[in-house]
């Protein structure tokens, strides 16, 4: 007997941390208890992308999009929707029943998106190889093994014009071609899954939702360049992605899609997983290769590039997860198809992890050339809590801020460089008017100082010096001289640092200096923090005309800095106050003000 | 498990694609809605729903989407089934049983002819 309903439960890390696994098990239990086990199939999929509204449960064929589902809601979904055919209105997005013609894709969050990399996420069961095969999986591999020559593959990649999604945007076909032409019997293929930018989780979600897409692409690359061994370098902090990869590799081996004589073609290839310990610098390719070899993860001077001398000194292709995830579709749909999407400069789509002060945070895949305004305001739904837009930070600790003035720039590799930021791996953090820009710069510099491997002095000493200066400024002790010093050190780091981590670490400083000079000025000249974020520059005061003397703040204050008698205005002893802000959050009368 | 040959991979893909296609909701031309209110279920809507889905599967009619709905405010005619096809528009049938369900597929969906004697008019 056929299934009447299919229930897709998001099994991404975001939703799983909101107990989607329990929702999944409850749905199966409830269906069993009501005798519906043979009429409804419950499937755990990859990330739907709309993480703000998670955990997400989608019921087919009605296409009901349930959001913020709790484990106890499983009963209603089975009892009402599956048994009686009534949508559980209270769980629907917008809480209103949708008209029969309306589709999930009509939700504003999905309207401007185009899914290539994430095409299977939220659709198939990533732990079932048959689901992947059913959606044209391993078709590209067939084509490569039996119909195309390695030269054809390179030519197709060249037509596609795919550029590396790890950040720098180097043409993928060139990397492959260099490695193919490099001399040597032993060559390697490496997948860089050491995603580490703050707020970024594109690669994690891709691996969790569609692991076979990456495996298939790595096999294709191996065949093309003449390698028989691949490595996936992934950080140990991604247990679910590792788990799904392990399952995928096991199933691929059972089918003979990995191992000896793949599909009877005579080609041998296998993949191993290498776990990283979470050092940010290991995302840099030479450091990553060192780490795979068992050494301490430290960058090496380039050249020689990995394409000629990589892993264990052998020619190596190293690509990022998102780059890999594009390749199978380029092969079976053709490079021309891929090139027709996006802009002149950058073809295809890009996945962004949209986070920060935006209404709809989540995973967003848009064609290159989409403007930031469309991403932040149309897809992201604008700034949360009625605050004002201030800037977007792209490219993580290596990128820069983008202001209102550049919001209409179509995003591609070139245009982001021109406005002083970079594509990076795709983290996108939205800031509102309560975020202090100097504090933001400090946050990123602090991050790179922490993550610097310490090998070269421009990064090791330069980073520390930048941080010291920024500390000084946020404490109200900065001078005009410090601005100049910031710029000088930044330039020295850009020129002198060994790897991209150190070369790009000053970017957040330079870009905030360029776009928000007045905010630095305010900290230095007027000794104020306009956003009220820098603790040394603010103090809390009680507005006597608003305070009714309810004593709520005084009871909450952890250091007893607030005094006053019942029903008469209170006061804060600024000598004792630690500026934690608890009083402000507690006060129901907005009587506590930041000065 | 034995290693796959190319032919076996194709067989898996065909088989699994058919399985996955059942989840597909896009590109459907016909739509059958079964009213699954309390009265509807009591009168046998579940049997009808099962019959419809099984018949469609047996005859491989992939262009038809079957969904459920709640009460349609016509309890006297329960179970009620509404059929939408591009040629005939929306037509409702009352007092449907498994036999009529099979006829709906055969005569209405495939044959393109309304089964007049079982047709009912639904209030909006």
- The verdict on a CB contact (< 8 Å) between A263 and B9 is yes
CA distance A135 to A428: 30
- Are A264 and B6 a contacting pair, CB within 8 Å? yes
A473: Cβ contacts below 8 Å, ≥ 6 apart:
A438, A482, A520, A523, A524
Pairing of strands B64-69, B89-93: unpaired
- Each residue's pLDDT tens digit, A117-175: 999 998 899 999 999 999 999 999 999 999 999 999 999 999 999 999 987 889 999 99
Q: Which of A20-24, A41-45, A61-65, A275-279 has the lowest mean pLDDT?
A: A61-65
Distance from CA of B99 to the nearest CA of A (A): 17
Sheet holding B89-93, edge to edge: B64-69, B30-35, B81-85, B89-93, B119-120
* Residue at B99 is within a domain: yes
In-domain check, residue B32: yes
Query: Which pLDDT band, with edges at 50, 70 and 90, does A101 fall under?
Result: low
User: Which residue in A6, A124, A264 is closest to B6 by CB distance?
Assistant: A264
Calculate ∠ Cα A380-A384-A385, nearest 5°. Answer: 160
Q: Report pLDDT for A102.
A: 61
Please give the residue of chain B at the shortest CA–CA distance from A266: B5
User: Residues B83, B30: contact at Cβ < 8 Å?
Assistant: yes
Question: A210-224: b or e for each residue (b if 16 or more CB lie within 10 Å)?
Answer: bbbbbbbbbbbbbbb
Please list the residues that pair with A231 across neighbouring strands: A190, A272
Contact status of A266 with chain B (Cβ, < 8 Å): no
* Contact B27/A at CB under 8 A: no
Find out whether A206 and A212 touch, Cβ atoms under 8 Å. Answer: no
Residue range A465-478: mean pLDDT, rounded: 95
Residue among B2, B25, B54 whose CB faces A61 most closely = B25
Q: Work out the angle between the directed axes of helices A150-160 and A321-333 (0-180°, nearest 10).
A: 110
- Structural domain total, chain B: 1
The whole-model pTM stands at 0.89
Assess whether pLDDT exceeds 50 at residue B1: no
CB contact under 8 A, A85 and B70: yes
Asked if B36 and A84 come within 8 Å (Cβ–Cβ), the reply is: yes
Which pLDDT belongs to residue A60?
Answer: 87
B66 contacts in chain A (CB < 8 Å): 4, 61
pLDDT of residue B63: 84
- pLDDT value at position A78? 93
Given an 8 Å threshold on Cβ–Cβ distance, is B25 in contact with A4?
no
Q: How many residues does chain A have?
A: 595
| Chain A residues inside the 8 Å CB shell of B23 | 6, 60-61
- Report the C-alpha gap between A351 and A415 in whole angstroms: 17
Least CA distance to B36: which residue of chain A? A84
Q: How far is B92 from chain A (nearest CA, A)?
A: 16
Above 90 in pLDDT, residue B46? no
Using CB atoms and an 8 Å cut-off, which of residues 41-100 of chain B contact chain A? 41, 49-50, 53-54, 56-57, 65-70
Residue B41 lies in domain: 25-120
pLDDT of residue A321: 96
Instruction: Give Cα separations from A514 to A243, A401, A419, A439 (angstroms).
Output: 44, 9, 10, 15
Residue B69 lies in a domain: yes
The dihedral of CA A391, A394, A397, A402: what is its sign?
negative
Task: Determine, for residues A84 and B67 on separate chains, whether the beta-carbon distance falls below 8 Å.
Answer: no
- Rounded CA separation A226/A211 (Å): 23
pLDDT in tens, A441-456: 999 999 999 999 999 9
Residue A48 per-residue DSSP state = -
CB atoms within 10 A of CB A479: 13
DSSP symbols for A146-158: HT--HHHHHHHHH
Cross-chain residue pair A86–B16, CB shorter than 8 Å: no
Distance from CA of B118 to the nearest CA of A (A): 23
Helix (H, G, I), strand (E, B) or coil at A415: helix
β-pair type (B64-69, B30-35): parallel
Do A135 and B66 lie within an 8 Å CB cutoff?
no
Residue B11 lies in a domain: no
Question: Given pLDDT bands bounded at 50, 70 and 90, which one contains residue A8?
Answer: very high
Measured between CA atoms, how close is B16 to chain A, in angstroms? 5
Asked if residue A363 lies in contact with residue A49, where contact means CB atoms within 8 angstroms, the answer is yes
Chain A residue closest to B70 (CA)?
Answer: A86
The mean pLDDT value for A401-420 works out to: 90
Give the residue among A342, A335, A222, A330 at the shortest CA–CA distance from A271: A222
More confident residue, A574 or B73: A574
Is-contact A259 A251, C-beta < 8 A?
no
ipTM: 0.81
B contact test, residue of A1, A2, A5, A110 with most B CBs within 10 A: A2
Domains belonging to chain A, first-starting first, are 5-108 (3.40.30.10), 129-339 (3.40.50.11540), 349-432 (3.10.20.600), 437-526 (1.20.1440.230), 539-594 (3.30.70.20)
Task: Look at residues A125, A421, A185, A178 and name the one whose alpha carbon lies nearest to residue A319.
Answer: A178
Q: Crossing angle of helices A507-515/A480-496, nearest 10°?
A: 140
Whole-number Å distance between alpha carbons of A109 and A53: 11
Say yes or no for a CB contact (<8 Å) between A85 and B36: yes
pLDDT tens digits along A302-317: 899 999 999 999 999 9
- Cα dihedral across residues A73, A79, A83, A85: positive or negative: negative
B52 in any annotated domain: yes
* pLDDT attached to residue A135: 92
pLDDT at A576: 92
Interface check for A3 against chain B (CB to CB < 8 A): the answer is: yes
Residues above pLDDT 90, as percent of chain B: 7
Question: Using a CB-CB distance cutoff of 8 angstroms, which residues of chain B are in contact with residue A130?
Answer: 12, 16, 19
User: Is B9 in contact with A146 (Cβ distance < 8 A)?
Assistant: no
Q: Strand pairing partners for B64?
A: B30
Reported as a pLDDT band with limits 50, 70 and 90, residue A103 is low
Q: Give the residue among A482, A424, A458 at the shortest CA–CA distance from A200.
A: A424
d(CA A413, CA A594): 41
* Beta pairing, strands A427-432 & A389-394: antiparallel
Higher pLDDT, A139 or B67: A139
Q: Per the domain annotation, does B10 fall within a domain?
A: no
Interface test with B, best of A85, A106, A129 (most B CBs within 10 A): A85
* Residues of B whose CB is below 8 A from A4: 49-50, 53, 66, 68
Q: Which of B5, B53, B69 lies nearest to residue A4, judging by beta carbons?
A: B53
Q: How many A×B Cβ pairs under 8 Å?
A: 90
Q: Does B18 map to a domain?
A: no
DSSP bridge pairs for B85:
B89
Which CATH number fits the domain that encloses residue B91? 3.40.30.10
In the prediction, which pLDDT does A543 show?
A: 92
Give A185: exposed, middle or buried? Use CB within 10 Å, 0-12, 13-18, 19+.
Answer: exposed
Q: What is the pLDDT of residues A200-221, one digit of tens each?
A: 999 999 999 999 999 999 999 9
Angle at which helix A211-225 crosses helix A321-333, to 10 degrees, equals: 70
The minimum CA-CA distance between B115 and chain A, rounded to whole Å, is 25
- Residues of B whose CB is below 8 A from A3: 22
A407: confidence class by pLDDT, cuts 50, 70, 90: very high
Contact A115, A123 (CB under 8 A): no
pLDDT of residue B123: 66
Contact with chain A for residue B7, Cβ under 8 A = no
Report the C-alpha gap between B92 and A585 in whole angstroms. 58
Tell whether A76 is within 8 A of chain B (Cβ). no
Buried b or exposed e, range A531-549, using 16+ CB within 10 angstroms: bbbbeebbebebeeeebee
Q: Per the CB < 8 Å rule, is A4 touching B49? A: yes
Q: Is residue A251's pLDDT more than 70?
A: yes
The listed range with the strongest mean pLDDT (A217-226, B48-57, B85-94) is A217-226
Helix, strand or coil for residue A508? helix
Q: Does B23 touch chain A (CB under 8 A)?
A: yes
| Residue in A4, A83, A133 closest to B13 by CB | A133
Residue A95: pLDDT over 80: no
pLDDT, mean of residues A24-51: 92
Local confidence band at A99 (pLDDT 50, 70, 90 cut-offs): low
Enumerate residues 473 to 492 of chain A having a beta carbon within 8 A of any beta carbon in chain B. Answer: none
- Looking only at Cα atoms, what is the longest distance across chain B? 60
Rounded-to-integer distance, Cα B110 and Cα B112, Å = 6
Contact A130 B65 (CB under 8 A): no
Instruction: Tell me if residue A256 falls in helix, strand or coil.
Output: coil
Segment holding A400, helix H or strand E: strand A400-403
Residue A411 DSSP one-character state = P
User: Quick one: average pLDDT of B106-117?
Assistant: 88
Mean pLDDT of chain A: 92
Rounded Cα gap, residues A90 and A101, in angstroms: 20
CB distance A553 to A592 below 8 Å: yes
Residue A2 has pLDDT above 80, yes or no: no
CA distance B87 to chain A (A): 18
**Predicted pLDDT of residue A406:** 92
Distance CA B34, CA A367 (A): 40
């Amino acid at each position: 007997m056929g299934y009447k309903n299919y229930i897709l439960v998001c099994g991404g890390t975001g939703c799983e941390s909101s107990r989607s696994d329990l929702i999944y098990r409850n749905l199966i239990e409830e269906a069993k208890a009501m005798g519906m086990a043979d009429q409804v199939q419950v499937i755990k999929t990859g990330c739907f992308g709309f993480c703000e509204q998670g955990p997400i449960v989608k019921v087919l064929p009605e296409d009901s999009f349930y959001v913020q589902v709790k484990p106890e809601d499983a009963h209603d979904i089975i009892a009402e929707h599956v048994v009686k055919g009534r949508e559980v209105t209270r769980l629907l997005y917008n809480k209103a029943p949708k008209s029969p013609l309306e589709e999930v894709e009509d939700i504003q969050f999905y309207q401007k998106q185009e899914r290539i990399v994430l095409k299977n996420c939220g659709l198939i069961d990533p732990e079932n190889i048959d689901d992947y095969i059913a959606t044209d999986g391993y078709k590209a591999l067939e084509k490569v093994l039996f119909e195309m020559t390695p030269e054809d593959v390179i030519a197709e990649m060249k037509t596609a014009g795919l550029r590396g999604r790890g950040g720098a945007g180097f043409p993928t076909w060139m990397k492959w071609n260099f490695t193919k032409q490099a001399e040597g019997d032993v060559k390697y293929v490496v997948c860089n899954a050491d995603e580490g930018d703050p707020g970024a989780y594109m690669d994690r979600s891709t691996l969790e939702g569609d692991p076979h897409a990456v495996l298939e692409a790595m096999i294709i690359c191996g065949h093309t360049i003449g390698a028989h061994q691949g490595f996936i370098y992934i950080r140990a902090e991604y247990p679910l992605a590792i788990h799904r990869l392990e399952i995928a590799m096991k199933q691929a081996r059972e089918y003979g899609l990995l191992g000896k004589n793949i599909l009877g073609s005579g080609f041998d290839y296998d993949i191993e997983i290498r776990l990283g310990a979470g050092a940010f610098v290991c995302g840099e390719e030479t450091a990553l290769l060192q780490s795979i070899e068992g050494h301490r993860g430290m960058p090496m001077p380039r050249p020689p590039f990995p394409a000629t001398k990589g892993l264990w000194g052998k020619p190596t292709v190293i690509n990022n997860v998102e780059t890999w995830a594009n390749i199978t579709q380029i092969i079976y749909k053709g490079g021309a198809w891929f090139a027709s999407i996006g802009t002149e400069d950058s073809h295809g789509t890009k996945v962004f992890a949209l986070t920060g002060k935006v209404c709809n945070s989540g995973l967003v895949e848009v064609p290159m050339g989409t403007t930031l305004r469309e991403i932040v305001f149309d897809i992201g739904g604008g700034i949360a809590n009625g605050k004002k837009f201030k800037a977007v930070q792209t490219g993580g600790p290596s990128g820069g801020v983008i202001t209102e003035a550049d919001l209409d720039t179509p995003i591609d590799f070139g245009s982001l460089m021109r406005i002083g930021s970079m594509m990076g791996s795709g983290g996108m953090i939205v800031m509102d008017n309560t975020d202090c820009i100097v504090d933001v710069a400090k946050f990123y510099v602090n991050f790179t100082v922490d993550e610097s491997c310490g090998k070269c002095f421009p990064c090791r000493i330069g980073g520390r010096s930048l941080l010291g200066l920024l500390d000084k400024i946020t404490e109200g002790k900065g001078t005009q001289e410090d601005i100049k010093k910031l710029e000088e050190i930044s330039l020295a780091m850009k020129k002198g640092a060994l790897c991209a981590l150190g070369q790009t670490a000053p970017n957040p400083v330079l870009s905030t200096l360029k776009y928000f000079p007045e905010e630095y000025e305010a900290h230095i000249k007027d000794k104020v923090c306009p956003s009220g974020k820098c603790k040394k520059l603010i103090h809390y005061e009680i507005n006597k005309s608003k305070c009714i003397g309810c004593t709520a703040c005084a009871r909450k204050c952890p250091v007893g800095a607030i005094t006053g008698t019942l029903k008469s205005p209170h006061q804060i002893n600024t000598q004792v106050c630690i500026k934690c802000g608890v009083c402000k959050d507690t006060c129901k009368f907005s009587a506590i003000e930041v000065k | 498990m034995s290693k796959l040959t190319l032919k076996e991979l194709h067989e898996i893909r065909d088989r699994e694609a058919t399985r996955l296609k059942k989840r597909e909701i896009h590109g459907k031309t016909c739509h059958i809605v079964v009213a699954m209110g309390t009265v509807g279920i009591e009168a046998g809507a579940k049997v009808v729903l099962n019959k419809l889905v099984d018949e469609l599967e047996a005859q491989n009619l992939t262009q038809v989407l079957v969904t459920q709905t709640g009460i349609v405010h016509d309890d006297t005619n329960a179970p009620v089934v509404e059929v939408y096809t591009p040629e005939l528009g929306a037509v409702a049938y009352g007092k449907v049983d498994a036999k009529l369900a099979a006829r709906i597929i055969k005569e209405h969906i495939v044959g393109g002819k309304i089964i007049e004697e079982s047709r009912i008019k639904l209030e909006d």
